[in-house]
Every structure is written in C-alpha cells, then in structure tokens.
Amino acid sequence: MDVRSRNYLLMNRQALEKDIKTSYIMDRMISDEVLTLQEEERVKQQNTQKERAAMLINIILTKDNNSYRSFYNALLHEGYRDLAALLQDGIPAISSGNRKSSMDGMTSYVKTILCEGGVPQRPVVFVTRPKLVDAIKQKLFCLGNDPGWVTVYGMAGCGKTVLTAEALRDHQLLEDYFPGGVHWISVGKQDKAGLLIKLQNLCSRLEHDSALSQRPPLNIEEAKDRLRLLMLRRYPRSLLILDDIWDSWVLKAFDNQCQVLITSRDRSVTDAVAGNKYEVHVESGLAHEKGLEILSLFVNMKISELPEQANCLVRECK
C-alpha cells in the first residue's frame, strides 16, 4: 500500500474504529476479492464492534492499494459517507499505463475501474461465451463519443448480467472509450420511491468529494438534473450500466445524453428515450458442449473424464 494511503488509514483509524460495523463492509471487500474468508473469520472472532473494526483495519494495513480502494468504496456504499470523506485524499492514483496482468487476465487498471464502479465479479462457475461478449463490445464501440443506448436483452437466467460484466473486462475498451469510468446500478423492478433511492445512492457515489457533496435530491426530477450535471462536468466519457430494467418509464430518469448500457427482458424498453440505440440478443439455453463444461466445473473434472450419464443430465436440464 502507498505510504500516503497507509498514513490516512492510521490518521483516521480512531474515528473508523468508533463508528463502523464490519459485516456489510467485509461482504463488499470479499466480493472485490481483496479480503479472504479466513480474514473475515479473524475479524468476527473479536468480542466488540470496536475490536472487530480495529482488526479489519489492521488487516487492510498489510494489503495493497486495491484493498484501500475497496474499503473506501465499501464505506461509501454502506452509508458511511463522512468516514469515506476522511479517506478520500488518500486514495492511490490509478496508472492507466499499467498493463501488468492479474491472475484472471485483467490488467490492474481494469480491475480497479471495475471495483470502483461496482461491476459484479465473475461467478464461481464461469464458462466463456466469446461471441456474445464480443458482440456487446462491438456495440459499445459503436457508441463512440456520442450519447446512446446499448440494450442486452433476453429471457431471465440467460446470462445477460454475467456477459455484460465480462465485456467490460477489457483494457482498451475502458481506456480508449470510457476513460471516465463505469458506474453499475442494479435496478430491478421499482416503484417511484424505490427508483428515487437508487438515484440518491448513485448521486452520493458520484459526489464522493465532501467539498462538493449536497443533500440528497428530494424527487426524481431533481435527481435527474443533478445526475445530468455530474455526468457532464465530472464524469464525461463514462459508461452507465443499468442492470435488470423492467419498465421503460424508469429509463426516463437516466435520459441525460449519457452513454448507457442496459440489461432487460424487454427489447422495447428504450423506445421511450432519445439517442442512438444498439441491441444484443442473448438466447436462452446453452449449447450441449457448454452445458458439459459447466457440469465439469461443478464436479471438478475434465470433460473427457465425465461419465456417459453426464450427456443425459445436460439434455434433461435443457
């Protein structure tokens, strides 16, 4: 960890230890793959909330810059905006020129951008579907510098979210087309009150600089206006991802001349918004070979070692 980042943790550890509850923060850090289950257990074994917070900070101090960023983002997302503000000036700089690959083939630059943007990690059992991933990338390339919408649509469970997240694990795509970063929002089926909360949380994330932060927007129109200014002034050339859109009226709150990718079961949800539009259809079901690949990963065997009954099982599941 950078000396500056370490110093900010040390300077503010008393305030952090006093106020944070570690459970949800650790969940996010585990999801970001910067905290292990064994380290989580060490924290849980402490007797008091303050002791658990102290143990977590001690563990973070032994780790790298990604751990600091993950901890900062966890504070921000879990409602500790004031504590996150204490650590903001200590966030390590991102070097976009760093192309050193990580264990899963991503560069450290990509890993940091996706972590900060809240992009989901790969599932434990993951099989490649390169044609669909490439199709999503190509549609994102088509956006260029212009506002517009990419819709990844298909039946429930067909893999829209996983494929979208996988398409974003590309250094050139992020550095050349979306240097302002990515911002992932899991939307789902919402009423107006639920949508307002989603918008308030997004504005809070984007306004993490305490000197510029404001009260939460009071209604959807105010939130839309604030989001438009944030994306225009502070996050130009960034990508907004709206996962699991059910209703077209929801998109009107994000119709701000931005670059947006959505996942949805409904191909027509973007009919009510303006801008260039591109589509990627994800068919339900997998090819037989992909089904065998998933089964082999579950049972930790090579496909060639699977018994004959495996073919019958995959056909039955389809």
Superfamily of domain 3-90: Death Domain, Fas (1.10.533.10)
Alpha carbon distances (Å) from 73 to 37, 83, 127, 237, 266: 19, 11, 29, 21, 32
| pLDDT in the model for residue 314 | 58
| pLDDT in the model for residue 27 | 86
Under CATH, which architecture does the 109-281 domain have?
A: 3-Layer(aba) Sandwich (3.40)
Q: Which of 116, 112, 72 is nearest to 94 (CA)?
A: 112
Fold match, 3-90 / 109-281:
no
Per-domain boundaries in the chain: 3-90, 109-281, 288-317
Q: Which of 183, 170, 186, 190 is nearest to 263 (CA)?
A: 186
Tens of pLDDT along 52-90?
999 999 999 888 888 888 888 888 877 788 888 888 888
What does residue 184 show for φ and ψ, rounded to 5 degrees?
Answer: -95, 130
* Regions of the chain with pLDDT less than 70: 93-106, 125-126, 208-213, 285-306, 308-310, 313-318
| pLDDT in the model for residue 295 | 61
DSSP string spanning 130-173?
Answer: HHHHHHHHHHHHHHTTS-EEEEEE-STTSSHHHHHHHHT--HHI
